[in-house]
Structure 1
Amino acid sequence: MSIDAVMRTEFPAGYVVFFGADGKVVMTPQSEEHSSTIKSMQYDTILSLGRHAKTVSDVYIDFPADENSAPDLAIMREDAQLKDKRYGFEDVLLIAEVVSVSSARKDYDDCTTKYGRYGIPVYVVVDPYASEVVVHTQPTGSGYITACTHKYGSGKLPIELADGRTYTLDLDELPRPQADTR
Structure 2
Amino acid sequence: MLLIAEVVSLSSTRKDYDDCTAKYGPYGIPVYVVVDPYAAEVVVHIWPTGAGYIVAHTHKYGSGKLPIELTDGRTYTFDPDELPQPDAGVR
Whose strand fraction is larger, Structure 1's or Structure 2's? 2
Query: Alpha-carbon deviations, 1:34-53, whole Å to 9, x = none?
Result: xxxxxxxxxxxxxxxxxxxx
TM-score, scaled to structure 2: 0.94
Match of 1:118 among 10, 16, 27: 27
Match of 2:53 among 128, 134, 144: 144
By relative contact order (CA 8 Å, sep 6+), the higher-ranking structure is 2
Aligned length: 91
Q: Report sequence identity in percent.
A: 80
Q: 1 CA distance for matches of 2:62 and 2:26?
A: 31
Query: Alpha-carbon deviations, 1:121-176, whole Å to 9, x = none?
Result: 00000000000000000000000000000000111111011111111001321221
Q: 1 CA distance for matches of 2:30 and 2:45?
A: 8
Are the equivalent residues in 1 in contact too, given 2:38–2:90 (CA < 8 A)? no
TM-score, scaled to structure 1: 0.48
Q: 1 CA distance for matches of 2:31 and 2:43?
A: 10
Are the equivalent residues in 2 in contact too, given 1:153–1:173 (CA < 8 A)? no
Which residue matches 1:178? 87
Query: Alpha-carbon deviations, 1:70-102, whole Å to 9, x = none?
Result: xxxxxxxxxxxxxxxxxxxxxx10000100010
Q: In structure 2, list runs of 5 or more residues that go unmatched.
A: none
Whose helix fraction is larger, Structure 1's or Structure 2's? 1
Match of 2:38 among 114, 129, 151: 129
